[in-house]
Amino acid sequence: MTVSAKLTPHFPMSHSTASTQRTIVVIGKENTGKSQLIASLTHCAPYSSNFRGSTITCERYMGDDMMFIDTPGILYRSDTTTTRSALEQLQKGDRILLVVKATHADEDLADLLPLVDGKQGIVVMTFWDKVLPSEFTQQVIRRWQQAANLTLITVNARKLTATQRQEIQTAIEQPTAFSTQPQPISLGWRIEPHPTLLEHPRLGWLLAIALLLIPAVLTVFFANTFAAIVDPLVQGLVNPTVEALSGLPSLSKEILIGRYGLITMGPLLFVWAVPTVILYALFLGTYKASGLVERITIALHPLLCPFGLSGRDLVRIIMGFGCNVPAVISTRACSSCSRKTCTSAIAFGSACSYQFGATLGVFSAANLPYLVIPYLVYLTITTLIYTRLIAPKSARSPQNQLMIEHRTFLEVPRWSAIWRETKGSLNQFFTNAIPIFLAIALIASVLDWLGVLNGLSRLIDPTMGFFRLPPEAALPVILASVRKDGLLLFAEPNTVSLLSPVQILTGVYLAGVLLPCLVTALTIAREQSPKFALKLMLRQANAAIVFTFILAWGGYIMSG
């Protein structure tokens, strides 16, 4: 499949470069170790994680006299946004560092050499540590170099030696031309990693589901244990400030220490959300760095395909349980036929860190912590039904195979890679979610001061009966549609005492899925379009109403 490049690449970091500085475009398939290789060459920490599709923009790394442009991994015969971006950057560059995996060198070279025809550069073969070193393999490499008239350097990108670094830099200074002529000789080997239980035809999907649930369960347990200890301490520190500011004019008082004031709501966000984001990022970073994410992806793909999703999409949806913003952005690595469906699934079914924390807070306040189990089960089922209904027919086709080149090698994860993933998630959380949260808190405070929120609450009070909820449930539903931590209003004693277990479950579910929070909605509008974001919100609201009605009345009949 020929992929046309239509997107302008995004460079997250800008640097001034000297006129003599050379620009090197780094090209390769997914999971070839491009980011790690460049980081080793430039002594910079890689921006992206070591898993397929983690590099989603073109990223610049500055060396001594060279600037390396790390492109997203090319998913051969795919139309992902990241692949188009990489090919566009390739068209602009003249000096290329082509990265291929030693384990599948013949395939990678056959697929990628035609893309760099007419360019100048070198070939670096990563994963050389997986090839049994011998005089024979070295001889084959030398014969290939002579026949192709190209420099080919074999490395382990994770452990690049000073000699290899110098060899690569010297070769880049004296590049040779790539040619579309048939590959001169075959290297003659293909190395596959050993299968595990995840590849078992009957047990693989069960193990994959368990591996996905374990981080969520452990994260929730430890984060909420931490929050239960820290929250009283934080409140003890905040209360004196609240009392000191109680004499402010009414509007200033509302903005700072009102129900939705910056000082009132701020500690809630940091106590409940930040520990969850950190812990989940650590778990997810471990999975990515070890290669487990790829194995899980392949194991669950057959189950997800009928719902219009792929195993690759599932990784993005799971990321949403840390923060929806980076999850939505990472859908750039999804295929065009499933990206919008994946985005919709994230908006509907990924209970982000503060939503999840608030949900558990409500269940705990009601002394019904076991409700988290039916909540997650119903959320999963309805999300799958929702995606099945909205997914295009092409995405649901059994012929829509998972676009992953090879099975991933499992490795012991390094702390640097795990911590890099954690820092990336926290960076996006603080730079994207927090500023919008502060703006929303400010707006909500002003609207509450003006009496607008109470007016809206009275307006939709009658609709609560449709879901067998009391009028008091209206305000939490409204606020949770803007900020998911508005769910915590269900935990107020005057509200929670009025609700049965089914009503608590119904109210939390409705507030959680009725609309994506404003942060997520704005991110979707930026990544796709405002029109798509509006359509998604209307469609999601309709689905949420139907599913909540079924939950409310079905639960009432079953408990009755």
- Per-residue pLDDT reduced to its tens digit, 185-205: 778 888 888 888 988 888 898
Read off the pLDDT band of 496 (50, 70, 90): confident
Per-residue pLDDT, 369: 78
Indicate whether 144 and 93 sit together in one domain: yes
Q: Is residue 183 part of a domain?
A: no
Indicate whether 92 and 160 sit together in one domain: yes
Q: Residue 272 above 90 pLDDT?
A: no
CA separation (Å) from 418 to 217, 224, 333, 407? 19, 22, 21, 21
Read off the pLDDT band of 80 (50, 70, 90): low
Q: Which of 88-102, 151-165, 211-225 has the highest mean pLDDT?
A: 151-165
Q: Does residue 367 come out as left (phi exceeding 0), alpha (psi in the -120 to 50 range) or beta?
A: left
Q: Is residue 339 part of a domain?
A: yes
Helix axis angle for 372-390 and 353-365, nearest 10°, is 140
Q: Is residue 120 part of a domain?
A: yes
Distance CA 350, CA 360 (A): 15
Indicate whether 272 and 309 sit together in one domain: yes
Q: Containing domain of residue 307, as a range?
A: 199-559
Q: Amino acid identity, residue 339?
A: R
Q: Residue 224 above 80 pLDDT?
A: no
Over range 548-554, report the average pLDDT.
95
- Global pTM reads 0.68
Indicate which CATH number applies to the domain containing 109. 3.40.50.300
Average pLDDT over the chain, rounded to an integer = 79
Number of domains forming the structure of the chain: 2
Q: Is residue 184 part of a domain?
A: no
Indicate whether 29 and 73 sit together in one domain: yes
Indicate whether 407 and 516 sit together in one domain: yes
Question: Do residues 132 and 140 lie in contact, with contact meaning Cβ atoms separated by under 8 Å?
Answer: no
Q: Is residue 2 part of a domain?
A: no
- Distance from first CA to last CA of the chain, Å, rounded? 58
Indicate whether 409 and 378 sit together in one domain: yes
Indicate whether 504 and 402 sit together in one domain: yes
pLDDT in tens, 419-448: 876 776 677 667 766 776 677 678 878 888
Q: Is residue 14 part of a domain?
A: no
98: part of which helix (H) or strand (E)? strand 95-101
Over range 121-139, report the average pLDDT.
86
Distance CA 331, CA 333 (A): 5
Question: Do residues 105 and 80 lie in contact, with contact meaning Cβ atoms separated by under 8 Å?
Answer: no
Q: What percent of the chain has pLDDT over 70?
A: 82
pLDDT in tens, 337-381: 678 888 898 889 887 766 776 787 788 778 887 888 899 899 989
Question: Do residues 307 and 384 lie in contact, with contact meaning Cβ atoms separated by under 8 Å?
Answer: yes
Indicate whether 448 and 314 sit together in one domain: yes
Indicate whether 203 and 161 sit together in one domain: no
Q: Is residue 72 part of a domain?
A: yes
Overall residue count recorded for the chain in this entry: 560
DSSP state of 408: P
Q: What percent of the chain has pLDDT over 90?
A: 13
Indicate whether 228 and 157 sit together in one domain: no
Read off the pLDDT band of 125 (50, 70, 90): very high
What is the dihedral angle through the alpha carbons of 248, 254, 259, 265, rounded to the nearest 10 degrees?
A: -90
Q: Is residue 494 part of a domain?
A: yes
Indicate whether 48 and 165 sit together in one domain: yes
